[in-house]
Amino acid sequence: MTGRAAPPTAERSEARTGWLLSTPALLLLAVGATGPLLVIVVYAFLEKGSYSGVQWAFTTEAWFQVLFERDIFDDTVSLADAHLTIFWRSVKLSLATTALAFALGLPTAWYIAMRPPERRAVWLFLVTIPFWTNLLIRTFAIMEVIRNGGLLNSALLGLGVIESPIQILYTDAAVLIGMVYVYLPLMVLPLYAAIERFDMRLLEAAHDLYASRWQALRRVVLPVIRPGIVAGGILVFVPSLGAYVTPRLLGGGKNMMIGNFIELQFGQGRNWPLGAALSLILLAIVLSALIALTRLTQRETGA
Amino acid sequence: MKRFDPAALPGFAWIAVGALVLLWAPIVTMVVYSFNASQSVALWGGFSLEWYAAAAGNAAVQGAALRSVVIALCAAVIASAVATMAALGTTRRGHFRGRQAIYVVINQPLMVPEIVTAVALLIVFAAVKVATGYTGLGYLVLAHSAFCVPFAYLPIRARLEGMDRSLETAAADLYATPWRAFRHVTLPILAPGIAAGAMLAFVISLDDVIITEFVKSAGQDTLPTYMLGQLRRAVTPEVNAISTALLALTVALLTAFFVLTRRSDTKP
């Protein structure tokens, strides 16, 4: 069946069965996920409704509002500083989260990969359970630790390191701590998968061939674990950029990220077209990050 | 010249232990305080189950818990059913036109930020709600089923790819019809993969906050959106108790998932 070279008709029937069997899944996704995404594109070019929703008239006003604001009284145009601040904060916090998660995740993943197999399974289980635990619950848990009367401040007060509780909650630092905490397993797991595959005898071979430690790291270890680094980077950066729950609970009302700002447009802001335009911008940033990183791995492994 | 010893890098053990403490300390604290007798979320007042009793007796919590389970069950069944068909359609077949496109659509929920999907669904469902007047749980079931598809699809596909095709060939050689070969050969071997996929879908659906928050109509809180609402106001130890109960459920399901996938791995 599979061994023989399939005649063209057989190939066509394979394709037909393939598509036929995939149809229910594709339909479900078209109605419940992909299709609505296309509707956003339309909404981003409509006029905002007076109460909420939209009016069916074409305009690029929403895109203009992403970057600029008009004065209500004299129609002067100025840069929308608040919007730029939110964009900048989102990108900055997401990059910082990814970097911190990597700094913590790489040694952790490396250490786990060097354990004997049965110990490794325990470590992995311990990393996986928090990963599957409800994001809201974990955010709530870390919130309890960093708030003024929480574990961290009590411990620091008890040790005499500080004299009065430090305000961490409702700052950018809280959002950063929260996101690192929440997304750390997403960095550790793919890194571990890559390191575990690495054949340590390659290192010995490199040293036998007079490679220095740095050369061995750069030329032998890094190329093999690069896919893991890229995967971990994507898995942390993408959800950080679109984060909603963590900044909302830990950042309070002031320290919004793009996700919260989008929600605002559909709630109190009552500006659906602006919300749609912002969603598309977020989507574009995420997709270009995904494409850039995938290209990077493909080129490196292809070389 | 110094050698690079992979097993003894300085400080790595400390960072690894630190990372594990970071991951677990907040969760452990939360679980411990859910048994706190004191009204305060900070001071320890002795062991008590009163917050569990309070949560269990709260009609809003009961309704939300029931809704969460119903939606997650529906989503798990629907998602794993369509994912099984799609996996059968896209694996172990010669390369055919458009297979890559099918992959992209199936995995799309993993690539698009959830807030964007949530907003998109809000826009579409708001229009449908006005047009049809229907405001039931159907919207949530539909949305949850859709974003659960990739989670159900991946383990099923992994299982299929590891499967020996010669068994089905043997069945065909013994004059089994394609349906009988599927029913009596493929499906039993595939079953652990489907169960694992359904379980992941169930957990993912149970955990969802953002899409549910945007799609739900009034009075359709699930446990996570109920908790989100509570956290916005004042934090009571009741939230600790609900969280711990949900955590216990997740751990139980995941342990089952690991057992299922591990047993299927060790099979010849």
Shortest CA distance from A290: residue in chain B: B111
- At A3 the three-state DSSP class reads coil
Reported pTM: 0.86
- Domain assignments of chain B as residue spans, ordered by start: 59-266
**A134·B246 Cβ contact <8 A:** yes
Q: Please, what are the averages of pLDDT over each run of 10 residues along chain B (268 residues)?
A: 62 89 90 81 76 88 94 97 93 78 89 92 92 92 95 88 81 85 87 89 91 93 92 78 89 81 54
How far is B182 from chain A, CA to nearest CA, in Å?
14
Question: Crossing angle of helices B59-90/B138-161, nearest 10°?
Answer: 40
CA–CA separation, A168 and A190 (whole Å): 30
Residue A293: is its pLDDT beyond 90?
no
Higher pLDDT, A97 or B35: A97
Q: Measure A270 CA to nearest chain B CA, in Å.
A: 12
Domain boundaries, position A202:
87-302
Using only C-alpha atoms, chain A has a radius of gyration, in whole angstroms, of 25
- Which chain A residues are within 8 Å of B258, Cβ to Cβ? 125
Q: Measured in whole angstroms, how far is the alpha carbon of residue B75 from the centre of its chain?
A: 10
Q: Is A129 on the interface with B (CB under 8 A)?
A: yes
The full 3-state SS of B198-237, as one line of letters, equals: HHHHHHHHHHCCHHHHHHCCCCCCCHHHHHHHHHHCCCCH
Give the Cα separation of A92 and A89 in Å (integer).
5
Kindly state whether A209 is in contact with chain B, defined as any CB-CB distance less than 8 angstroms: no
CB distance B123 to A275 below 8 Å: no
Distance CA A143, CA A137 (A): 10
- The pLDDT, as a whole number, for residue B268 is 40
Nearest residue in B to A187, CA atom: B19
**Other beta carbons less than 10 A from residue B31's beta carbon:** 16
Residue A57 within any structural domain of the chain: no
Round the average pLDDT of chain A to a whole number and report it. Answer: 85
∠A167-A169-A174 over CA atoms, to 5°? Answer: 110
- Asked if the ipTM is above 0.95, the reply is no
Residue B79: closest C-alpha in chain A: A25
Q: Which residues 57-96 of A are in CB contact (within 8 Å) with B?
A: none
Task: Identify the CA nearest to B246 among candidates B210, B203, B216, B196.
Answer: B203
The answer to whether B147 contacts A242, with C-beta atoms less than 8 Å apart, is: no
* Residue A215: pLDDT band with limits 50, 70, 90: confident
In the predicted model, is pLDDT for residue A88 greater than 70? Answer: yes
Can you tell me the distance from the alpha carbon of B225 to that of B210, in angstroms, rounded to the nearest whole number?
8
Of residues A299 and B107, more confidently modeled: B107
**B225 to chain A: closest CA residue:** A136
pLDDT of residue B2: 56
Does A124 contact chain B (CB < 8 Å)? no
Note the residue count of chain B.
268
Find the angle CA(B194)-CA(A228)-CA(B88) to the nearest 5 degrees.
Answer: 25
Residue A40 lies in a domain: no
Residues of chain A with Cβ-Cβ distance to B113 below 8 Å are 238-239, 241-242, 259, 282-283, 286
Name the residue facing B228 among A53, A136, A290 (closest C-beta). Answer: A136
At residue B233, the pLDDT reads: 75
- Pick the residue of A110, A136, A287 with the most B CBs within 10 A to test the interface with B by mutation: A136
Token pair belonging to A85: 């601040």
Q: Which fold is adopted by the domain B59-266?
A: MetI-like fold (1.10.3720)
Which residue in the block uniquely carries the two structure tokens 């969603």? Answer: A279
Burial of residue B169, with CB atoms counted within 10 A of its CB: 0-12 exposed, 13-18 middle, 19 or more buried? middle
For residue A182, what pLDDT band results from cuts at 50, 70 and 90?
very high
Tell me if chain B has a CB within 8 Å of the CB of A199. Answer: no
Q: Does the beta-carbon distance from A24 to B81 stay under 8 Å?
A: yes
pLDDT-based confidence at A173, cuts 50/70/90?
Answer: very high
- Closest CA of chain A from B16, distance in Å: 4
Across the interface, whether the CB atoms of A22 and B102 are under 8 A apart is answered yes
The enclosing domain of A119 has a CATH number of 1.10.3720.10
> By three-state DSSP, how is residue B114 classified?
helix
For residue A29, which residues of chain B lie inside 8 Å, CB to CB? 105-106, 108-109, 146, 149
* A75, part of any domain: no
Start-end of H helices in B91-232: 99-111, 114-132, 138-161, 166-173, 178-181, 187-207, 210-215, 223-232
State the pLDDT confidence band at A163, using cuts at 50, 70 and 90. Answer: confident
Q: What's the sign of the alpha-carbon dihedral A187, A125, A135, B143?
A: positive
Q: For an interface test with B, give the residue of A140, A152, A197, A220 to mutate (most B CBs within 10 A).
A: A140
Contact: A25, B214; criterion CB under 8 Å: no
Residue A13 lies in a domain: no
User: Among residues A286, A227, A233, which one has the least CA distance to residue A97?
Assistant: A233
CA distance A303 to chain B (A): 24
Half-sphere exposure for B73 (CA within 13 Å, toward CB): 6
Residue A2 is predicted with a pLDDT of 46
* Any domain includes A41: no
Number of H helices and E strands in chain A, helices first, is 14, 4
Answer yes or no: are the C-beta atoms of B139 and B125 closer than 8 Å.
Answer: yes
> Which residue among B24, B81, B113 sits closest to A242, beta carbon to beta carbon?
B113
The interface residues of chain A toward chain B in range 211-230, judged by CB-CB distance below 8 A, are 212-213, 216-217, 221
Residue A76 within a domain: no
